[in-house]
Chains A and B, each alone.
Chain A
Amino acid sequence: AQSVTQLDSHVSVSEGTPVLLRCNYSSSYSPSLFWYVQHPNKGLQLLLKYTSAATLVKGINGFEAEFKKSETSFHLTKPSAHMSDAAEYFCGSSNTGKLIFGQGTTLQVKP
């Protein structure tokens, strides 16, 4: 069975410091993996995706994620947080066309 676990429900960082949002997946086959961001009262916006090409994936707004098969992880990182990064982040996994989401991580950015 396919599942996604976001290890932190809430992450708080100071502006200008690195961001790390953790995601582990479980899948019988090599999945496609995604990170989405949701700002208040908005829909989900795709940040980046992994589809079995390069294991380090670069996305929009300076975010990137690294696929580690041995650890079944796909953590999202950004070197320097900006106030506008404060939002809800969702990790997703798909290997049959059905997208499974994690519970979400709220990122708080303090001035």
Chain B
Amino acid sequence: ETGVTQTPRHLVMGMTNKKSLKCEQHLGHNAMYWYKQSAKKPLELMFVYNFKEQTENNSVPSRFSPECPNSSHLFLHLHTLQPEDSALYLCASSLTGTSGSSYEQYFGPGTRLTVT
């Protein structure tokens, strides 16, 4: 396991529920990411935060709402999800540098989400 934790590890929710996923990193990084991993599909980058500011939103539906209160914590608020949103949601963190700098990302174990 890395220094990135995610809770809960498993979540089952109905389409009318509201729930939140939590990610915390203990690595002193200043960038955090949400990815969606569906069966038979490549990893999809959803959101990127640098120094608590959202720097990327890859056309994610508004039923997914991220929140980054500080550089160590990242949330993904979920509401009125669809069955096709069932997937493994991965959080990652990294250092961030000047434009062109590329640091490796460290991933959490993921939250397995099932929407019924």
Is A111 in the interface zone, CB < 8 Å from B?
no
Known: A43-B90, A97-B101, A98-B56. A103 touches B107 (CB 8 A): no
The answer to whether the Cβ of B102 comes within 8 Å of any Cβ in the partner chain is yes
Q: Are B108 and A43 in contact (CB under 8 A)?
A: yes
Contacts of A43 in B (CB 8 A): 2, 4, 6, 90, 92, 107-110
- In the complex, the answer to whether B90 meets A96 with C-beta atoms within 8 Å is no
Give the residues from 44 to 80 in chain B that come closer than 8 angstroms, CB to CB, to chain A: 45, 48, 56
Interface size class of chain A, counting residues whose CB lies under 8 Å from the partner chain? 20 to 34
The DSSP consensus for interface residues of chain A is: loop
- Select from chain B the residue with minimum beta-carbon distance to A46: B104
Q: How far is the CB of A61 from chain B (nearest CB, A)?
A: 15
Can you list, as one digit per residue, whether each of B73-116 has a CB less than 8 Å from chain A (1) or not (0)? 00000000000000000101000110111111111111010000
Name B residues whose Cβ lies closer than 8 Å to a Cβ of A: 2, 4, 6, 31, 42-43, 45, 48, 56, 90, 92, 96-97, 99-110, 112
Which A positions have Cβ atoms within 8 angstroms of B?
29, 31-32, 34, 36, 41-46, 49, 51, 90, 94-99, 101-104
